[in-house]
A and B are shown apart, each in its own frame.
Chain A
Amino acid sequence: MGKTITEKIFDAHLKDEPFSGTKVLALDVVMCHEITTPVAIADLQWRNKDRVFDPSKIKAVIDHVTPAKDSKSAMQGKILRDWAKRHNIRDFFDIGENGVCHAIFPEKGFIRPGNTVIMGDSHTCTHGAFGAFAAGVGTTDLEVGILKGVCAFRLPKSILVNINGKLNRGVYAKDVILEVIRRLTVNGATDHVIEFRGKTVSDMSMEERMTLCNMAIEAGGTSGLCMPDQKTVEYLWQFISNDYKDQADALADFEKWHSDPDAEYDRILEIDISDLEPVVTVGYKPDQVKKVADVSDVKIDQVYIGSCTNGRISDIREAAAIVKGTRLSSGVRGILSPATPKVYMQALKEGLIEIFMEAGYCVANPTCGACLGMSTGVLAEGEVCVSTTNRNFNGRMGKGGMVHLASPATAAASGITGHLTDPRTLIK
């Protein structure tokens, strides 16, 4: 019987099986941010174990609340900064060069096909876009990852989501993943990984694949994975050109991770997205998904464009195409947070920042900010935001606020009209 990509990665990294079914994997990358890591550092110090297994495999960033908003968040940043220095962690990104973790780490080329990756952050599944097994973990798992370079998992079963069909105008990767979550439900993929395959996925750019994989956790998935292909090679080429003879050589190496044709799946979901329309969440759960056109009476107070889901350059271009030459509807606040400094600078070069500012947007620095209701656009009680982020939980963006998750195009279009708006009605 053939193997899935996940089984191949588990086999290649298996370090121990202390009990039947418990797989302890060697880790290639351990990623850290300032919310969940300081507690791990404090605990390691308390246990007299303030060590790291391999500083070159640890990547760290201050991203959730940056610049610090108060003395407590400043202390979290300081703990991470001092620790990175103490242990000679070179890949540490502080203010001025920091961006949202799941946007900046791929941009730096840190994730490769076949890697095992953990982070104290549930959206670590994003990095599965490179054909890696990337899982969010809690602080204790992170702590052991930092100390020993290992993490324990039960081998997750796999769900194959086969996506075919051509995306309609105004429909994007974000609409596709919301539709997948609607079908799987919020715990339909618990203890599973989701393999995203099919023609639609192979046609997608790496950025679009990251948007897909980013929200695997919203269906409960341990990781979302795409098969590494020529697009993966091209994206990573500037980082790997010394390791391979040519791109064909790299591709052949990457393809060894592909799931075998006779691999076994716990479930196969076939989705034809040819008829998919722009969608949006309405409610406090990410699987409560409706056609934007059916809920266009919902008024909004704020538009938020950014985050690890949709804060990359392609997202900003997509929104800018709609925002260009318009103004935010009176009474609607617009916030744009490019996910990394590189994205920000590229948007500046292309004149996109100007488009948003002329439309009345506040352009914030790269940070998680309002996505988790910590800074940079928290809602007041009773307010409504259309957001390109990934969670609409009650209170997520501020106590008593309502978040509607949507694509950058839908968010941008809604900002112009003041209510949820199908972007196709405004696409020029």
Chain B
Amino acid sequence: MKTFGGPVLFLDRSDINTDEIIPAKYLTEVKKDALKPYLLEDLVLDGFEPDGSWRGSAKVIVTRANFGCGSSREHAPWALEVNDITCVIAENFARIFRQNMFNGGMLAIELPCEVINEIFALSKHGDIICNIDSDKKKLEFLWEGGSKKIDFDLTEFDNALVKAGGWVEFADARY
């Protein structure tokens, strides 16, 4: 099972697509590690520095609606994974991206719009750390001088995939 939690990167926009997460020109790579420097290279977002200076300082992404729309490329979750980002928290996800996250044993956590708004509001406190307990389904956001706990939900299947470390092992053992 993977480890989850750490510093949060806020991406304050809806509909961030997989071409923005990892552009198609890098899809000729057959090794996951090769994707590392290109994560979010084409992201269009005010205030976001595409120079990669944020890289290495984030383990959790918090974003808005429809994250991961567009191409089915699993290179998108892999590009996150090789950058040690194993959890994305959003209002909702595109279906294929969401499944790809769990299929790789990673977390795609959906929370209602109001709760996402509350989490974004925390960013005014400066750097935020998010601790994640996938068994108890609890998130804890920490900042200097404060903290906030939030519950989340996973389906039994999502949970089983996270525990098994992904869909290949789960399916091969069962079918």
Complex interface residues of chain B between 89 and 111 (CB less than 8 A to chain A) = 92-97, 99-100, 103-104
- Contact check, B25 vs A374: say whether CB atoms are below 8 A apart: yes
Q: Which residues of A contact B136 (CB under 8 A)?
A: none
Do A220 and B66 have beta carbons less than 8 Å apart? yes
Q: Across the interface, do B44 and A394 meet the contact criterion of CB distance under 8 Å?
A: yes
Chain A residue contacts of B65, Cβ below 8 A: 187
**Chain A to chain B: the 7 pairs with minimum beta-carbon distance, closest first:** A138-B100, A138-B74, A140-B103, A19-B156, A72-B28, A187-B66, A139-B74
Cα-based distance from A36 to B77 in the complex (angstroms):
13
What are 23 A-B contacts defined by CB distance under 8 Å? A16-B174, A18-B160, A19-B157, A21-B157, A22-B155, A42-B30, A47-B168, A72-B28, A79-B30, A122-B72, A122-B96, A136-B72, A138-B77, A141-B167, A148-B175, A152-B157, A187-B15, A190-B93, A373-B25, A393-B17, A393-B20, A395-B19, A395-B20
A52 within 8 A of B: no
Assess whether A150 is in contact with B171, with CB atoms less than 8 Å apart: yes
Q: Which of A35, A139, A141, A220 contacts B94 (CB 8 A)?
A: A220
Q: Is the interface of A mostly helix, strand, loop or mixed?
A: loop
A386 CB-CB contact with B under 8 Å: no
Select one of B23, B66, B70, B103 contacting A190, CB under 8 A.
B66
Interface flag for A357 (CB, 8 Å)? no
Given A140-B104, A395-B20: A121 and B72 interface contact (C-beta under 8 Å): yes
B69 an interface residue at 8 Å Cβ cutoff? Answer: yes
User: B147 interface residue, CB < 8 Å from A?
Assistant: no
Q: Given that A19-B155, A19-B160 are known contacts, is A39 also in contact with B30, CB under 8 Å in the complex?
A: yes
B144, CB-defined interface residue at 8 Å: no
Contact residues of A with B, CB < 8 Å?
A: 15-16, 18-22, 24, 35-36, 38-39, 42-43, 47, 49, 64-65, 70, 72-73, 75-76, 79, 120-122, 124, 136-141, 143-144, 147-148, 150, 152, 154, 156, 186-187, 190-191, 220, 222, 284-285, 372-374, 391, 393-396, 399
Tell me if A374 and B72 are in contact (CB < 8 A).
no
Which residues of the partner chain A approach B75 to less than 8 Å between Cβ atoms?
Answer: 39
Query: Contacts of A191 on B, CB cut-off 8 Å?
Result: 95
The answer, yes or no, to whether B166 is at the interface (CB within 8 Å) is yes
Instruction: Provide the residues of chain B in CB contact with A374, threshold 8 Å.
Output: 24-25, 27-28
Residues on the B chain within 8 Å of A138, using CB: 72-74, 77, 96-97, 99-100, 103
Is B95's CB under 8 angstroms from A190's CB?
yes
Chain A: CB-nearest residue to B103? A140
Does B71 interact with chain A (Cβ within 8 Å)? Answer: yes
Residues of chain A with a CB closer than 8 A to B160's CB: 18-19
Q: Is A186 touching B100 in the complex (CB atoms < 8 A)?
A: no
Nearest-neighbour CB distance to chain A for B108, whole angstroms, equals 12
For B27, give the chain A residue with the smallest CB separation.
A35
Q: Which residues of A contact B42 (CB under 8 A)?
A: 394-395, 399
With a CB–CB cut-off of 8 A, which chain A residues contact B74? 36, 39, 120, 138-140
A33 to chain B, nearest CB (A): 11
Give bound CA distance, A375 to B46, whole Å: 30
With contacts A22-B155, A140-B168, A187-B66 known, is A70 near B99, CB below 8 A? Answer: no
Additional pairs, 10, CB under 8 Å, beyond known A39-B32, A73-B28, A394-B19: A15-B175, A42-B30, A122-B96, A138-B77, A144-B167, A147-B168, A148-B171, A152-B171, A220-B95, A396-B19
Contact in complex: B172, A148 (CB < 8 Å): yes
Most B CB contacts (10 A, CB to CB) among A22, A138, A220 go to A138
What separation, in Å, do the CA atoms of A322 and B172 have in the docked complex?
Answer: 54
Within 8 A of A (CB), among B37-93: 42, 44, 65-66, 69-75, 77, 92-93
Q: A395 to B71, alpha carbons, bound, how many Å? A: 13
- Contact partner of A140 (CB less than 8 A), chosen from B15, B69, B92, B167, is B167
What mask results when residues 101 to 128 of chain B are scored 1 for a CB within 8 Å of chain A, else 0? 0011000000000000000000000000
B29 at the A interface (CB under 8 A): yes
Which chain A residues border B17 with CB–CB below 8 Å?
Answer: 393
Residues on A with C-beta less than 8 A from B15 are 186-187, 285
Assess the A395–B23 pair: CB atoms within 8 A. Answer: yes
Which residues of chain A come closer than 8 Å to B95, judged between CB atoms? Answer: 156, 190-191, 220, 222
Q: Mark B132-165, 1 if CB is under 8 A from A, else 0.
A: 0000000000000000000000011100100000
Is B171 in contact with A147, judged by CB distance below 8 angstroms?
Answer: yes
| Inter-chain contacts of A24 with B (CB < 8 A) | 175
Query: Which residue on A lies nearest to B159, using beta carbons?
Result: A19
Rounded to whole Å, the gap between the CB of A411 and the closest CB of chain B is 21
Q: Which of B15, B65, B156 has the most CB of A within 10 A?
A: B15
CA of A19 to CA of B156, assembled, Å = 6
Cα separation A177 to B32 with both chains bound (whole Å): 35
Query: With A22-B155, A72-B29, A75-B30 as given contacts, are A372 and B24 in contact (CB-CB < 8 Å)?
Result: yes
Interface-central residue, A47, A143, A393, by most chain B CB under 10 Å: A393
> Are B28 and A76 within 8 A (Cβ)?
yes
Chain A, Cβ-Cβ closest to B76:
A138
A147 contacts which of B99, B166, B172 (Cβ < 8 Å)? B172
State the Cβ distance, A20 to closest chain B Cβ, in Å: 7
Most chain B beta-carbon contacts within 10 A, residue among A43, A373, A396:
A396
Which A residues touch B167, using CB under 8 A? 140-141, 144, 152
**In the bound complex, CA of A144 to CA of B24 (Å):** 24
A394: chain B residues at CB < 8 Å are: 19-20, 42, 44
Taking a contact as CB atoms under 8 Å apart, the answer to whether B156 and A22 are in contact is yes
Residue of B nearest to A149 (CB): B175
